[in-house]
Chains A and B, each alone.
Chain A
């Protein structure tokens, strides 16, 4: 995009930070919901530009991080089958299941393929009629329209050898779960800009009101994030709690209507387990009955697989903003991006990995 350099302008960033410093009179805890924002914040040192009173809490918005262990185990079981071509986004390959990861399945001869788009998996199914092709359908509301389309296209093409292991998660129920937690410290949210590109932000005003928490729809460039923080602080300082859109170039109130129609056609709400957090009611999507024939869980009889998370990993607390990655005793030793114990270290957008990769070994601020 031709404005990209301008939205990264360091001089204006300093001025926005100065503005935030001037407004801030007391301590505030603001959660950036999206892992992409966490990554941008740490990479650009945005947290270090802020006054010490402002604490950024990293939210659960990383699909790779929150995909439950048992879903990974189901993926591993399906991918190991000789009749299956298992397709996934690349960043799921290193997520550890109970015993190993998809990379291991691949190195042991499993046909595991990284695709750029779910439509690529549909094309692979068409080209390999004698194989079962399974796509790992994870992600938040941003990814879901793409996965929904893949199922619809497979159905339209009459493919009998395509299915999807679906584990979609949704942002608003996660916000509710965080605010309902007795140990919650979050006072305002930076809502994930690209989730809102799809869903709009019509779902948020009742949440802002119910929890008396400002919600600011925020983009991903350094200036976008600083502006999101500035607006959140301005509301907090004024005792206000409403929804603002600080990312109007990509987000409207209604969101992407064709995408929302497609989502409603293909998916219905369901309870979902979040890795490290547990089950959040109505926090996910599953395939509707009309598309159930494409459900890999049923096709491969893995619905009953259960798994236990490693007890030393604190990623659940990290994902809910209760601790910072460096407060986990395993951070850096033994847990690193090369030897991850938990999902938040596996995904490059995970908070633990962001801290590790940018050398944040000491408590900042």
Chain B
């Protein structure tokens, strides 16, 4: 019950004084209350919970998260050879395995 489901707003209208809309969840379209997300527009993505949109999903943030994950991956690859070579020795820095500087998060 408590998982919100992401979907794409397809249509917005008013019913009984409430802002409602049709949201497409990967092909399944449901009627959703959009009253709590007044800024949302057709084409936006939103997370829907028990028939209510609770938040707009920010595409830029989604991309940024994915970039960060990818970067961690790249970092991992760069560290791999070192790790293999030094498998018997200690890593460069036990507290900051990435070499003392935290990866740029933002």
Once the chains bind, are B73 and A143 in contact (CB under 8 Å)?
no
* Distance in angstroms between the alpha carbons of A213 and B51 in the assembled complex: 34
A59 close to chain B: CB less than 8 A? no
| B51 x A119 contact (CB < 8 A) | yes
Q: Which of A6, A63, A237, A250 contacts B55 (CB 8 A)?
A: A250
Q: Pick the interface stretch among A13-21, A314-322, A356-364.
A: A13-21
Whether A16 lies near B69 (C-beta < 8 A) is yes
What 1/0 mask marks residues of chain B from 75 to 99 whose CB sits below 8 Å from any chain A CB? 1100100000000000100110100
A223–B69 contact, CB under 8 A? yes
- Cβ A194 vs Cβ B4 within 8 A: yes
Least Cβ–Cβ distance between B80 and chain A, in angstroms:
9
Number of interface residues of B (CB under 8 A): 46
Query: B9: shortest Cβ distance to chain A, in Å?
Result: 12
Secondary structure call for the B interface: mixed
Of A48-56, A145-153, A294-302, the segment with at least 4 beta carbons within 8 Å of chain B is A145-153
Q: How many A-B residue pairs have CB under 8 A?
A: 153
The CA-CA distance from A146 to B63 in the complex, in Å, is 29
Q: What residue of chain A has the Cβ atom nearest to residue B30's Cβ?
A: A116
The distance in angstroms between the C-alpha atoms of A68 and B71, with both chains bound, is 45
Interface residue ranges of A203-232 to B (CB < 8 Å) = 220, 223-224, 227, 230
Q: Which residues of A contact B55 (CB under 8 A)?
A: 194, 197-198, 250-251, 256
> Can you give 6 contacting A-B residue pairs, CB < 8 Å?
A2-B45, A25-B94, A142-B2, A143-B1, A250-B47, A256-B55
Residues of A bordering B, CB below 8 Å: 1-4, 6-7, 9, 11-12, 15-16, 18-19, 22-23, 25, 34-36, 39, 61-64, 89-92, 116-120, 139-140, 142-143, 145-146, 149, 153, 156-157, 192, 194, 197-198, 220, 223-224, 227, 230, 234, 237-238, 246, 248-251, 256, 258-259, 262, 347, 349
